[in-house]
Amino acid sequence: MGKTIAEALFEKGWNKGFKLGFKEAERAATITGLRSLVLNYLHMIRGEVPPETTAMVKSTRSIKKLNNWLERIAARTKIEELGIG
């Protein structure tokens, strides 16, 4: 049996919303994971991480920036040179 135009459009919109929601959830999970990595590595290298650095990392929503910080941490850059906080 055929669908009405309204049913077809509703289904198309639902599928599009589902895909966009999945992508956003995936992005949020990536950001959360990167934040944890940055803070854990800083803690391993430095010991105590300054509160302003922790706040800066936790408020960052840029995957590119978090990856950049991880690269610098991996290169064992001093925390003052990281540009975090």
Question: Both tokens of residue 68?
Answer: 């950049």
Q: Please say whether the dihedral angle defined by the alpha carbons of residues 35, 40, 45 and 50, taken in this order, is positive or negative.
A: positive
Neighbours of 57 (CB within 10 A): 22
∠ Cα 73 78 79 (to 5°): 80
Ranges of each domain in the chain: 5-81
Question: Both tokens of residue 80?
Answer: 């003052």
The strand ranges marked E within 1-85 are none
Distance CA 17, CA 42 (A): 37
- What global pTM score does this model have? 0.73
pLDDT digits (tens, 9 = 90+) for 26-83: 999 999 999 999 999 889 887 888 899 999 999 999 999 999 989 888 887 666 666 6
